[in-house]
Amino acid sequence: MTAPELILRDLGLVEYQPTLTAMRQFTDSRTSRSPDELWLLQHPSVFTQGQAGKAEHLMAPGDIPVIKVDRGGQVTYHGPGQCVIYLMVDMRRRSLGVRDLVNLIERSLLQLLEEYAIFALLKSGAPGVYVEDEKIAALGLRVRRGCSYHGLALNVDMDLEPFERINPCGYKGLQVTSMAKLLPATDVRPALIGTRLMDIVASALPG
């Protein structure tokens, strides 16, 4: 049997709200024959509040917009220098459960970081990827009609100050880090990192 087609798109720096609308439209209009897609991108500064989001975790947004979204989880920040990959995957066709897809994303992030000698870890009950006690990558998914959208965000080389205005992912006092902070003498460009990470995720998806 031929493996499902997978299309990789590099969208560059794009506004959050139109991208969210595009993900929803793609998911609602796709058929059983539609190829899966991975979207690599960055967003201008924005806070996104998940379905279970509580106002208490958004402490001082200032001039950064806040958008309520339909993924799981609490509040997070997106900004330039962060690698975001959205996964539009027909999970039923690939025989994937939600936990399977989360595990695939987390393993892909761990593999990418290990290639840069960053030895990250997972924490039980706290989705995402950590270096010691600092979070370096977040993930959040929505599944509709057996298909996923939203995805992962890896802090590559970005201003981390906005994370101090929130309780990241709903955890008070959680510290956040980035690849550039951990590897100050290494060239870590989001586009380059993102292309490699997208390739890892693509190769990990079951046919």
Is the residue at 207 inside a domain?
no
Count of domains for the chain: 1
User: Tens digits of per-residue pLDDT, 126-156?
Assistant: 789 999 999 999 999 999 999 999 999 999 9
Check pLDDT > 80 for residue 52. Answer: no
DSSP per residue over 85-112, as a string?
A: EEEEEETTTTT--HHHHHHHHHHHHHHH
Is the residue at 22 inside a domain?
yes
**pTM for the model:** 0.94
Check pLDDT > 80 for residue 179. Answer: yes
- The pLDDT of residue 168 is 74
Higher pLDDT, 127 or 78: 78
Q: 169 an active-site residue?
A: yes
- The pLDDT of residue 124 is 85
25 falls in which pLDDT band (50, 70, 90)?
Answer: very high
Is the residue at 196 inside a domain?
yes
Q: Which structural domain, as residue segments, surrounds residue 118?
A: 6-202
Q: Domain holding 36: CATH number?
A: 3.30.930.10
Residues 6+ positions from 63 with CB-CB distance below 8 Å: none
Among 169, 180, 182, 205, the active-site one is 169
